[in-house]
Amino acid sequence: MRLSQFHLATVKEVPADAEVASHKLMLRAGMIRKLASGLYTWSPLGLRVLRKVEHVVRDEMLRAGAIEVLMPSVQPRELWEETGRWEKFGGQLLKIKDRKEQEFCYGPTHEEVITDFARNELKSYKQLPLNFFQIQTKFRDEIRPRFGVMRAREFLMKDAYSFHLTPESLGETYKVMYDAYSRIFTRLGLEFRAVDADTGAIGGSASHEFQVLADSGEDAIAFSDASSYAANIEKAEALAPAGERPAPSAELTRVDTPKQRTIDEVTAFLGVPATQLVKTILVRGRDGLVALCVRGDHEINEVKAAHLPELPDDSELASEEEILAATGARPGSLGPVGLPESIPVIVDRSAALLADFVCGGNQDGTHFTGANWQRDARINRVADIRKVVDGDLSPDGKGHIRLARGIEVGHIFQLGQKYAEAMGADVLDSNGKKSTMYMGCYGVGVSRIVAAAIEQRNDDAGMIWTDAMAPWRVAVCVINPKNTDPVVAEAGESLYHELSQAGVDTVLDDRGLRPGSMFADIELIGIPHRVVVSARGLEAGTFEYRARTDSESRNVSRQELLALLG
């Protein structure tokens, strides 16, 4: 590829709502452009990276014996009624109608469609096991799309679904997928952990999430490198011993509170822009009143504490449903905050909404869910309700727990018979008897991986790609301002050809830019290897080579260069 004939459109300024490094850099490099909330166009540059990820994912899926299909994005309501998910899936399901008033959704996932496919296609146990996968666009109407393609509404997922006669066969394929996922993320050069996860609403018996380690991650994970222990925080807490915590109080009571505060007053007080406020929780602690300003969509991730002179007044307690709607918390994740004699209050954007439940407690950047709370218990300091702590002995006793933030890039499930049963997906077994199939499902966030990789590898100059994900492995930069020197231009072309012929994925920067701007672009877009062709180098018979991670460049001969990059 010649950059003079490509559309590379780097920019200096990025919108203020770009909070994390990957979002900023993807916009600066012109990899993505925003169309509307959670909807992005992948530019030619961005698409090259996305395709690289897709390539590795497809390659490993095929290697693991999965076979590719492609299902529609638009799915009929009737199928979703069969599993009860037309209602149960909730607000993330985008529902649409055609001209005949027939209802559809834009697929957030494909269990229903693939199970329908399988019940029609598969008749005999002899056809099993089978594992179908696709790489396809999903739509989820996320409560708070953010961080660019990290939490988008439309995004690219690799989803696979396996079908089995027995749970043992499902277990075998699950293991094969676990290994395939490990290979995918290793090949992409990501630092990740596979963590034990709750099967939650999807049901089933086993589940693992693949989490890329990054401080900006929305998830929390607990693991020990000295042993094989690794779990997401929900699972870690669910399995942690209960200790001497007070019994949860399910009862809601009316709270006597003084004056109500508007969201404007709260944001002014906290000094946080209203756009960053998803919800504010006001709690009364023993030392007076504390406001927790909370950002994040499905979990409380960031907290700013401050003392408020008084509590909002005279409001009704909200029901659990209202709180779920106002906070976007996951059903089942609500637990009272664990401050002494606390009376948590949730304020939504428009009016004050009082609640007796919040999603958990926070301290020092750690989020705790499932906290128990008893109205008159005095021991509920956050430290007391924390179930899993950095440095705890891991459950297997072989190491100490480290708490870290993660970005969920993959998720595998043993679904069991849940969908097959609901939709009547069966085959004849060896005795000629109808037998409901067992299923597994396996997702990879293909587009999210691009952002996650940037979170993990970047510096002041820009992104730092591994060879596997780079838009191009090598950039041949021709120093020939305004393209006035035909000899240098020709030398650049010739090297570019030679590298390309040798199968090296190379881009020729023949734009005739001044070196400063050219190098800034090439560093920003994170090309792993840079070769400079200049009049001075040609005279000396050398090229200047620098890896993106090197601090200095060095002069190498043509032969050395080919050996280095070949």
Alpha-carbon distances of 175 from 169, 182, 247, rounded to whole Å: 10, 11, 38
Answer for which of 411, 418, 448, 457 binds Mg ion (CB under 5 A) is: 411
Alpha-carbon distances of 136 from 31, 66, 160, rounded to whole Å: 19, 15, 11
Angle among Cα 359, 455, 191 to the nearest 5 degrees reads 90
Answer for which of 29, 157, 214, 293 binds ligand ATP (CB under 6 A) is: 157
Q: Which of 408, 445, 449, 411 is nearest to 157 (CA)?
A: 445
Q: Which of 214, 159, 156, 158 is nearest to 39 (CA)?
A: 156
Give the total of residues touching ligand ATP (CB under 6 A): 15
Q: Which is nearer to Mg ion, 83 or 555 (CB)?
A: 83
409 contributes a contact to ligand ATP by CB under 6 A: yes
155 contributes a contact to ligand ATP by CB under 6 A: yes
208 contributes a contact to Mg ion by CB under 5 A: no
Minimum Å gap between C-beta 266 and Mg ion is: 27
Q: Which stretch, 243-251, 287-295, 411-419, 449-457, contacts Mg ion (CB under 5 A)?
A: 411-419
The rounded Cα 256 to chain-centroid distance in angstroms is 41
* Residue nearest to ligand ATP according to CB distances in the complex: 445
Q: Which stretch, 169-177, 268-276, 405-413, 414-422, contacts Mg ion (CB under 5 A)?
A: 405-413
Three-state SS sequence of 236-276: HHHHCCCCCCCCCCCCCCCCCCCCCCCHHHHHHHHCCCHHH
Q: Which stretch, 93-101, 274-282, 356-364, 400-408, contacts Mg ion (CB under 5 A)?
A: 400-408
408 contributes a contact to ligand ATP by CB under 6 A: yes
Q: What does the alpha-carbon distance between residue 338 and residue 327 come to, in Å, rounded to a whole number? A: 18
Q: Which is nearer to Mg ion, 54 or 408 (CB)?
A: 408
Q: Which is nearer to ligand ATP, 343 or 449 (CB)?
A: 449
Amino acid at 91: G
What totals of helices (H) and strands (E) does the chain contain, helices first? 16, 30
Answer for which of 23, 140, 208, 405 binds ligand ATP (CB under 6 A) is: 140
Minimum Å gap between C-beta 400 and ligand ATP is: 27
Q: Which is nearer to Mg ion, 202 or 377 (CB)?
A: 202
Map the footprint of ligand ATP across residues 421-450, applying CB under 6 A.
Answer: 443, 445, 447-448
Q: Which is nearer to ligand ATP, 94 or 428 (CB)?
A: 94
Minimum Å gap between C-beta 448 and Mg ion is: 11
Amino acid at 360: G
How large is the C-alpha radius of gyration of the chain? 27
The structure tokens listed for 84 are 């009860």
Minimum Å gap between C-beta 2 and Mg ion is: 41
Yes or no: say if 516 and 481 are a contact pair by the CB < 8 Å rule: no
Q: Which does 385 bind (CB under 5 to 8 A by kind): ligand ATP, Mg ion, none?
A: none
Q: Which stretch, 40-48, 381-389, 402-410, 504-512, contacts ligand ATP (CB under 6 A)?
A: 402-410
Contacts of 447 (CB under 8 A, 6+ apart): 50, 149, 152, 155, 156, 157
410 contributes a contact to ligand ATP by CB under 6 A: yes
Q: What does the alpha-carbon distance between residue 36 and residue 212 come to, in Å, rounded to a whole number? A: 27
Q: Which of 417, 414, 422, 418 is nearest to 205 (CA)?
A: 414
153 contributes a contact to Mg ion by CB under 5 A: no
Q: How many other β-carbons are positioned within 10 Å of the β-carbon of residue 354?
A: 24
Minimum Å gap between C-beta 219 and ligand ATP is: 7
545 contributes a contact to ligand ATP by CB under 6 A: no
Q: Which does 110 bind (CB under 5 to 8 A by kind): ligand ATP, Mg ion, none?
A: none
Interface with ligand ATP by CB under 6 A: which residues?
Answer: 109, 140, 142, 151-152, 155, 157, 408-411, 443, 445, 447-448
Which residues of this chain interact with Mg ion, rule CB under 5 A?
408, 411
